[in-house]
Amino acid sequence: MSKPLPNASDFLPGPVLLLGAPGVGKGTQAKRLMQEFSIPQISTGDLLREHRRNHTPLGMLADELMSKGQLVPDDLVNQMVAERFKDPDTEHGYILDGFPRTLNQAEWLDGQLVAYMLPVVAVSIVVGEQELLERITGRLSCPKCQTIYNIYSKPPKNDRLCDLDGTPLEQRADDTEAVFHERMKTFEVKTAAVIEYYRSHGGRFAEVDGDRPEEEVTNGIRAALLTLRHHPEGETEGTKA
Ligand code: AMP
Protein backbone atom coordinates (compact mmCIF):
# COMPACT_ATOMS: atom_id res chain seq x y z
CA MET A 1 0.00 0.00 0.00
CA SER A 2 1.44 3.42 -0.88
CA LYS A 3 2.21 5.84 1.95
CA PRO A 4 0.29 9.14 2.09
CA LEU A 5 2.16 12.23 0.91
CA PRO A 6 3.24 14.62 3.70
CA ASN A 7 1.86 18.17 3.65
CA ALA A 8 3.87 20.91 1.96
CA SER A 9 3.94 22.72 5.32
CA ASP A 10 5.91 19.79 6.81
CA PHE A 11 8.50 19.91 4.06
CA LEU A 12 12.12 20.22 5.18
CA PRO A 13 13.57 21.91 2.13
CA GLY A 14 17.34 21.38 2.37
CA PRO A 15 19.25 21.64 -0.89
CA VAL A 16 17.03 21.33 -3.98
CA LEU A 17 18.38 21.24 -7.54
CA LEU A 18 16.29 22.20 -10.57
CA LEU A 19 17.92 20.75 -13.68
CA GLY A 20 17.09 20.97 -17.37
CA ALA A 21 17.87 22.56 -20.72
CA PRO A 22 17.72 26.34 -21.32
CA GLY A 23 14.09 27.49 -21.24
CA VAL A 24 12.52 24.54 -19.41
CA GLY A 25 11.30 26.93 -16.70
CA LYS A 26 13.86 26.44 -13.91
CA GLY A 27 13.80 30.13 -12.96
CA THR A 28 10.00 30.44 -13.09
CA GLN A 29 9.51 27.31 -11.00
CA ALA A 30 12.28 28.22 -8.53
CA LYS A 31 10.54 31.55 -7.86
CA ARG A 32 7.21 29.83 -7.24
CA LEU A 33 8.74 27.27 -4.87
CA MET A 34 10.94 29.68 -2.92
CA GLN A 35 7.86 31.56 -1.77
CA GLU A 36 6.09 28.39 -0.80
CA PHE A 37 9.00 26.84 1.12
CA SER A 38 10.58 30.12 2.37
CA ILE A 39 14.01 29.31 1.01
CA PRO A 40 16.07 31.37 -1.46
CA GLN A 41 16.56 30.72 -5.17
CA ILE A 42 20.23 30.68 -6.10
CA SER A 43 20.51 31.22 -9.85
CA THR A 44 24.09 31.22 -11.10
CA GLY A 45 22.88 32.94 -14.30
CA ASP A 46 21.37 35.77 -12.20
CA LEU A 47 24.51 36.05 -10.05
CA LEU A 48 26.67 36.27 -13.18
CA ARG A 49 24.36 38.90 -14.70
CA GLU A 50 24.72 40.90 -11.48
CA HIS A 51 28.52 40.73 -11.86
CA ARG A 52 28.09 41.89 -15.45
CA ARG A 53 25.99 44.87 -14.35
CA ASN A 54 28.65 45.75 -11.77
CA HIS A 55 31.45 45.41 -14.36
CA THR A 56 33.52 43.09 -12.16
CA PRO A 57 36.30 41.04 -13.85
CA LEU A 58 34.06 37.93 -13.49
CA GLY A 59 31.17 39.88 -15.04
CA MET A 60 33.27 40.93 -18.05
CA LEU A 61 34.40 37.34 -18.68
CA ALA A 62 30.85 36.03 -18.16
CA ASP A 63 29.49 38.57 -20.65
CA GLU A 64 31.78 37.26 -23.38
CA LEU A 65 31.02 33.59 -22.69
CA MET A 66 27.26 34.05 -22.18
CA SER A 67 26.92 35.84 -25.51
CA LYS A 68 28.40 32.74 -27.22
CA GLY A 69 26.28 30.25 -25.24
CA GLN A 70 29.38 28.90 -23.48
CA LEU A 71 29.95 28.15 -19.82
CA VAL A 72 31.93 30.23 -17.33
CA PRO A 73 34.90 28.18 -15.95
CA ASP A 74 33.97 25.82 -13.12
CA ASP A 75 36.39 27.25 -10.53
CA LEU A 76 34.98 30.75 -10.90
CA VAL A 77 31.35 29.62 -10.70
CA ASN A 78 32.04 27.30 -7.75
CA GLN A 79 33.74 30.13 -5.88
CA MET A 80 30.78 32.43 -6.56
CA VAL A 81 28.36 29.78 -5.24
CA ALA A 82 30.57 29.18 -2.17
CA GLU A 83 30.29 32.90 -1.36
CA ARG A 84 26.50 32.77 -1.70
CA PHE A 85 26.30 29.72 0.60
CA LYS A 86 27.81 31.85 3.40
CA ASP A 87 24.65 33.98 3.57
CA PRO A 88 22.46 33.02 6.54
CA ASP A 89 19.29 32.71 4.43
CA THR A 90 20.65 29.40 3.05
CA GLU A 91 20.66 27.75 6.46
CA HIS A 92 17.45 25.73 5.97
CA GLY A 93 17.90 25.04 2.29
CA TYR A 94 17.88 26.66 -1.13
CA ILE A 95 16.83 26.02 -4.70
CA LEU A 96 19.79 25.92 -7.05
CA ASP A 97 18.77 26.99 -10.54
CA GLY A 98 21.30 26.53 -13.34
CA PHE A 99 23.92 24.91 -11.12
CA PRO A 100 25.58 22.39 -11.36
CA ARG A 101 26.03 22.47 -15.14
CA THR A 102 29.12 20.23 -15.40
CA LEU A 103 30.21 17.02 -13.69
CA ASN A 104 33.04 18.95 -12.09
CA GLN A 105 30.54 21.38 -10.51
CA ALA A 106 28.37 18.45 -9.34
CA GLU A 107 31.35 16.77 -7.64
CA TRP A 108 32.37 20.07 -6.03
CA LEU A 109 28.80 20.49 -4.73
CA ASP A 110 28.86 16.98 -3.25
CA GLY A 111 31.95 18.00 -1.28
CA GLN A 112 30.19 21.13 0.02
CA LEU A 113 27.14 19.15 1.09
CA VAL A 114 28.95 16.48 3.10
CA ALA A 115 28.40 18.41 6.33
CA TYR A 116 24.86 19.50 5.42
CA MET A 117 22.00 18.12 7.48
CA LEU A 118 19.95 16.90 4.50
CA PRO A 119 20.96 15.22 1.24
CA VAL A 120 20.34 16.96 -2.05
CA VAL A 121 17.16 16.26 -4.03
CA ALA A 122 17.29 16.79 -7.80
CA VAL A 123 14.37 17.44 -10.14
CA SER A 124 14.91 17.46 -13.90
CA ILE A 125 12.31 19.41 -15.92
CA VAL A 126 11.78 18.08 -19.43
CA VAL A 127 10.46 20.04 -22.45
CA GLY A 128 10.85 19.33 -26.22
CA GLU A 129 13.40 21.38 -28.19
CA GLN A 130 10.95 23.18 -30.53
CA GLU A 131 8.91 24.42 -27.56
CA LEU A 132 12.15 25.55 -25.86
CA LEU A 133 13.09 27.67 -28.87
CA GLU A 134 9.74 29.48 -28.70
CA ARG A 135 10.06 30.01 -24.97
CA ILE A 136 13.59 31.40 -25.25
CA THR A 137 13.02 33.74 -28.18
CA GLY A 138 9.70 34.98 -26.71
CA ARG A 139 11.01 35.51 -23.17
CA LEU A 140 10.94 38.96 -21.57
CA SER A 141 11.62 39.78 -17.93
CA CYS A 142 11.19 42.68 -15.57
CA PRO A 143 14.57 44.03 -14.43
CA LYS A 144 12.94 45.35 -11.25
CA CYS A 145 10.87 42.44 -9.86
CA GLN A 146 12.27 39.65 -12.10
CA THR A 147 8.80 38.49 -13.23
CA ILE A 148 9.15 36.44 -16.40
CA TYR A 149 6.78 36.87 -19.41
CA ASN A 150 6.55 35.33 -22.86
CA ILE A 151 5.25 37.20 -25.88
CA TYR A 152 3.55 34.02 -27.16
CA SER A 153 2.26 32.25 -24.07
CA LYS A 154 2.24 34.78 -21.22
CA PRO A 155 2.24 38.29 -22.71
CA PRO A 156 2.24 41.39 -20.49
CA LYS A 157 -1.09 43.28 -20.47
CA ASN A 158 0.52 46.49 -21.76
CA ASP A 159 3.03 46.26 -24.53
CA ARG A 160 6.42 45.35 -23.02
CA LEU A 161 5.65 46.79 -19.57
CA CYS A 162 5.62 44.76 -16.34
CA ASP A 163 2.05 44.08 -15.13
CA LEU A 164 3.17 44.47 -11.52
CA ASP A 165 5.26 47.64 -11.54
CA GLY A 166 5.09 49.12 -15.06
CA THR A 167 8.86 48.78 -15.65
CA PRO A 168 9.88 48.33 -19.33
CA LEU A 169 10.57 44.63 -19.88
CA GLU A 170 13.92 43.43 -21.19
CA GLN A 171 15.01 40.60 -23.44
CA ARG A 172 18.22 38.79 -22.48
CA ALA A 173 21.03 39.29 -24.98
CA ASP A 174 21.54 35.51 -25.16
CA ASP A 175 17.85 34.76 -25.85
CA THR A 176 18.27 34.83 -29.64
CA GLU A 177 17.79 31.83 -31.93
CA ALA A 178 21.51 31.65 -32.81
CA VAL A 179 22.69 31.67 -29.18
CA PHE A 180 19.89 29.25 -28.23
CA HIS A 181 21.38 26.61 -30.56
CA GLU A 182 24.82 27.13 -28.98
CA ARG A 183 23.34 26.87 -25.49
CA MET A 184 21.59 23.61 -26.46
CA LYS A 185 24.91 22.22 -27.76
CA THR A 186 26.60 23.18 -24.48
CA PHE A 187 23.73 21.56 -22.59
CA GLU A 188 24.05 18.30 -24.53
CA VAL A 189 27.85 18.14 -24.29
CA LYS A 190 28.29 19.22 -20.65
CA THR A 191 25.03 19.33 -18.67
CA ALA A 192 23.13 16.25 -19.87
CA ALA A 193 25.76 14.16 -18.04
CA VAL A 194 24.93 16.00 -14.79
CA ILE A 195 21.32 14.83 -15.06
CA GLU A 196 22.51 11.25 -15.56
CA TYR A 197 24.80 11.68 -12.55
CA TYR A 198 21.88 12.50 -10.26
CA ARG A 199 19.65 9.90 -11.89
CA SER A 200 22.15 7.14 -11.18
CA HIS A 201 23.71 8.30 -7.85
CA GLY A 202 22.01 8.82 -4.56
CA GLY A 203 18.44 7.85 -5.55
CA ARG A 204 16.82 11.22 -4.83
CA PHE A 205 15.98 12.13 -8.40
CA ALA A 206 12.74 12.84 -10.25
CA GLU A 207 11.82 13.84 -13.77
CA VAL A 208 8.88 16.19 -14.31
CA ASP A 209 7.07 17.05 -17.56
CA GLY A 210 7.57 20.81 -18.04
CA ASP A 211 5.33 21.11 -21.09
CA ARG A 212 2.21 22.00 -19.10
CA PRO A 213 0.77 25.15 -17.51
CA GLU A 214 3.11 26.66 -14.88
CA GLU A 215 0.91 25.68 -11.97
CA GLU A 216 0.70 22.04 -13.03
CA VAL A 217 4.48 21.87 -13.34
CA THR A 218 4.79 23.35 -9.83
CA ASN A 219 2.36 20.70 -8.56
CA GLY A 220 4.48 17.98 -10.18
CA ILE A 221 7.71 19.32 -8.68
CA ARG A 222 6.13 19.76 -5.24
CA ALA A 223 4.82 16.17 -5.23
CA ALA A 224 8.22 14.86 -6.29
CA LEU A 225 10.05 16.90 -3.63
CA LEU A 226 7.75 15.77 -0.84
CA THR A 227 8.18 12.14 -1.80
CA LEU A 228 11.93 12.31 -2.33
CA ARG A 229 12.58 14.19 0.89
CA HIS A 230 10.33 12.18 3.17
CA HIS A 231 10.39 8.66 1.83
CA PRO A 232 12.62 8.37 -1.22
CA GLU A 233 11.80 4.69 -1.55
CA GLY A 234 8.17 5.65 -2.27
CA GLU A 235 6.84 6.54 -5.68
CA THR A 236 4.86 9.36 -7.22
CA GLU A 237 4.16 9.86 -10.88
CA GLY A 238 7.42 10.92 -12.48
CA THR A 239 9.85 9.87 -9.75
CA LYS A 240 12.60 7.62 -10.90
CA ALA A 241 14.74 6.89 -7.92
P1 AMP B 1 21.02 30.89 -17.23
O2 AMP B 1 20.49 32.20 -16.75
O3 AMP B 1 20.99 29.83 -16.18
O4 AMP B 1 20.39 30.46 -18.54
O5 AMP B 1 22.57 31.13 -17.56
C6 AMP B 1 22.99 32.07 -18.54
C7 AMP B 1 24.46 31.86 -18.87
O8 AMP B 1 25.27 32.06 -17.70
C9 AMP B 1 24.83 30.46 -19.35
O10 AMP B 1 24.57 30.28 -20.74
C11 AMP B 1 26.32 30.42 -19.01
O12 AMP B 1 27.07 31.19 -19.94
C13 AMP B 1 26.37 31.15 -17.68
N14 AMP B 1 26.16 30.22 -16.54
C15 AMP B 1 25.07 30.15 -15.71
N16 AMP B 1 25.22 29.18 -14.80
C17 AMP B 1 26.42 28.60 -15.04
C18 AMP B 1 27.13 27.52 -14.46
N19 AMP B 1 26.62 26.82 -13.45
N20 AMP B 1 28.35 27.21 -14.99
C21 AMP B 1 28.87 27.90 -15.99
N22 AMP B 1 28.26 28.92 -16.61
C23 AMP B 1 27.04 29.27 -16.14
Q: Which atom of ligand 1 is nearest to 66's Cα?
A: 12
94 conformational bin, left if phi > 0, alpha if psi -120 to 50, beta if neither: beta
* Residue closest by Cα to atom 5 of ligand 1: 45
Closest Cα partner for 32 from 201, 208, 188?
208
Give the span between the Cα atoms of 109 and 81, in whole angstroms.
Answer: 9
Domains in the chain (CATH in brackets) are: 16-201 (3.40.50.300)
For residue 70, the ligand 1 atom closest to its alpha carbon is 12
Contact at 8 Å (CB) between 28 and 133?
no
Residues in the chain: 241
pTM: 0.89
Residues annotated as catalytic (active site), given as ranges: 26, 101, 139, 172, 183
Least reliable range by pLDDT among 30-44, 78-92, 105-119, 187-201 = 105-119
Ligand 1: residues whose CB is within 6 Å?
22, 44-45, 48, 65-66, 69-72, 77, 98-99, 101, 105, 183
From the CA of 37, how far away is ligand 1's center (Å)?
Answer: 24
For the segment 58-75, what is each residue's pLDDT rounded down to a tens digit?
999 999 999 999 999 999
Q: What is the pLDDT of residues 146-171, one digit of tens each?
A: 898 999 989 999 989 999 999 999 99
224-229, long-range: CB within 8 Å, 24+ apart, which pairs? 224/123, 225/11, 225/16, 225/33, 225/121, 225/123, 226/5, 226/6, 226/8, 226/11, 227/5, 228/121, 228/204, 229/11, 229/12, 229/13, 229/14, 229/118, 229/121, 229/204
Residue 12, pLDDT > 90, answer: no
Contact assessment for residue 175 and residue 211, using Cβ atoms and an 8 Å cutoff: no
Residue 9 pLDDT level (bands cut at 50, 70, 90): low
